[in-house]
Amino acid sequence: MKYAVQLKGIDVVQGDRTILQAVNLHISHSEFVYLIGKTGSGKTSLLKVLYAALPIHVGQGMVAGFELEKLNRKTIPLLRRKLGIVFQDFNLLTDRSVEDNLYFALRASGHKDKVKMDRRVAEVLEQTGLEGYRPVKPHLLSGGEQQRLAIARALLNKPELIIADEPTGNLDPETADDILLLLRDLARENDSAIILATHDYRLLDHFPARIVRCINKRIVDDQELARFS
């Protein structure tokens, strides 16, 4: 089976600290996975490994067809073109309109064909319900609309994997539910896997999915526990 994520025995290290040890994790295409754990347990550090913001020195990792231990300055951007990343604080360009945020992201990832760029921007704006907001600056959008724009940006390159780090952390419960449903639906439509780090355990009850936990420098996969219980 081809996986969107396949980690074998990796250690997650930041500076001189070992954050997680002997991590084994497999995520299939189109699969939705929650990543949970206490603050400081290693969730964000693990996500950074997936998009090559942290290197691995022990073990083997494969993400979207790229071997993490073999990445270099030239190949890291190629990996990231196959990923969509959504953060809690949106990370939008506040001096540019909704559509200009998307065009900037496309150009930054190497796109040059104006016709194809126009088509893709129109597609993701329609998917996220933002078609009527093209000229609007992000600061005039609601929190939920800003996160929809962040999701639209993440979808531009039709990613194999969407990495979402607390994407509902700044949103009220009703808006958080809307964003989670949107992420799940769009990941399914685009055949993308998704790993979503969250502290909002209410989401786990309302929208059940596979759960991976960071506990005591280890990864515990509820799916694996269920198999042997």
- Predicted pLDDT at 1: 62
Among residues 60, 5, 58, 53, the alpha carbon closest in space to that of 29 is found at 5
Strand partners, 17: 14
pTM over 0.85: yes
Would you write out the chain's pLDDT as a tens digit for each of its 229 residues? 679 999 999 999 988 899 999 999 999 988 999 999 998 899 999 999 999 999 998 999 999 999 999 999 999 999 999 999 998 888 899 999 999 999 999 999 889 999 999 999 999 999 999 999 999 999 999 999 999 999 999 999 999 999 999 999 889 999 999 999 988 888 888 889 999 999 888 999 989 999 999 999 999 987 655 543 4
In this structure, the number of other CB atoms found within 10 A of the CB of residue 121 comes to 23
Residue appearing with tokens 């808006």: 175
Give residue 11's Cα distance to chain centre.
20
- Predicted pLDDT at 223: 65
- Predicted pLDDT at 229: 40
Domain boundaries, the chain: 3-228
What does the alpha-carbon distance between residue 216 and residue 228 come to, in Å, rounded to a whole number?
21
| Four-point Cα dihedral 42, 89, 33, 54, nearest 10 | -40
Among residues 14, 54, 222, the alpha carbon closest in space to that of 63 is found at 54
CATH of domain 3-228: 3.40.50.300
What are 15's two structure tokens?
A: 């500076």
